[in-house]
Amino acid sequence: METIINSTQIPVVTVDGPSGVGKGTLCVLLAKHFKWNLLDSGAIYRVLALSILDHNISLDSEDVLETHALNLPLKFVTMESGVHVLLNDIDVSDKLRTQEIGEMASKIAALPKVREALLQRQRDFRNKPGLIADGRDMGTVVFPDAPVKIFLDASPEARAERRMKQLQKNKICAIYDEILHEIKARDERDRNRTIAPLKSASDAFLIDSTDLTIDEVFQQALKIINSKINL
């Protein structure tokens, strides 16, 4: 007879932190290393942002936004190149990384009804053998019982420099001062919103990636996880 496993018995590693800190890259590396499921919660909000922009829905229409969130035709597909995001079965992964989408996602994330609509959808990603959850409130709100919580941080200047190089690599015009201003404004909005503000869980491990390579961050995270979970 098959043993029924309660979802709370499935291990979760949460990785929270501000925009542009490298959470996504770290989480993909961890998910591949452990062969676990991956939740990019930011992508959920970005897909919703893309969809409401496409449908010209006003941010003032919170009830409409809530209904739209509940019925969002969203899928995640894991491939060798990473996790691809599908909206209406169309791969929109590349469209989600623009500054406009990021700004809109941050704004809708501050709306209580929208956050509540997407909360259970995020928790549904907790499946065997385990989950790596990338976001801003994964350890404080979505998975408060996670056995391992990491808060990844870096200075706004370091994050702006990384973002500029990323945009330039994709042949997109980028101005450092503008990017730094946008990052600081987003940090202010994310840290001071009433619902689920960006903050480190009291039992989270802090990793400051300002002066670290992604491999150094990955090795620190592995050491933390292996010390907390018997894998």
28 is in an annotated binding site: no
Is 129 known as a binding-site position?
no
**What number of CA atoms fall less than 13 Å from residue 145's CA on the CB side?**
7
Asked if 143 and 133 touch (Cβ cutoff 8 Å), the reply is yes
Burial of 109 (0-12, 13-18, 19+ CB in 10 A): buried
Pick from 80, 68, 199: nearest CA to 135: 199
135 is in an annotated binding site: no
Q: Is the four-CA dihedral 212, 135, 193, 162 of positive or negative sign?
A: positive
In total, the chain counts a number of residues equal to: 231
Residues 191 and 210: their CA atoms lie apart, in Å, by 19
Phi, psi of 198 (to 5 degrees): -70, 120
Q: Which token pair is 198? A: 């960006």
Q: Is residue 22 part of an annotated ligand binding site?
A: yes
93 is in an annotated binding site: no
Report how far residue 161's alpha carbon sits from residue 150's, in angstroms, rounded to the nearest whole number: 23
| 67 in a known ligand binding site | no
> Is 20 labelled a binding residue?
yes
92 labelled ligand-binding: no
82 appears as a binding residue in the annotation: no
Binding residue ranges: 17-25
Binding residues for ATP: 17-25
